[in-house]
Amino acid sequence: MIPNEVIEMCGEQPEAFWRIMKRLVTEKLPPELPTVVEVIVKDAPMSDNEARKFEEKAMPFGLHAGRAVGEIPPDYLIFMAEGTEFTKQLKRYCASAMFFRRQKWDGTNE
| Residue 83 domain-assigned (yes or no) | yes
| Residue 21 domain-assigned (yes or no) | no
The total domain count for the chain is 1
Kindly report whether the global pTM for this prediction surpasses the value 0.75: no
Range of the domain at 74: 35-104
6, containing H or E segment:
helix 3-10
| Residue 67 domain-assigned (yes or no) | yes
| Residue 30 domain-assigned (yes or no) | no
| Residue 24 domain-assigned (yes or no) | no
Contacts of 23 (CB under 8 A, 6+ apart): none
pLDDT of 92: 85
Buried-state track 37-66, b at ≥16 Cβ within 10 A, e below 16? eeeeeeeeeeeeeeeeeeeeeebeeeebee
Q: d(Cα 103, Cα 89) in Å, to the nearest integer?
A: 18
What is the full per-residue pLDDT of the chain (110 aa) written as tens digits? 566 777 778 888 888 888 888 888 878 877 765 555 554 445 678 889 999 999 999 999 889 999 999 999 998 998 888 888 888 888 888 888 888 888 866 555 45
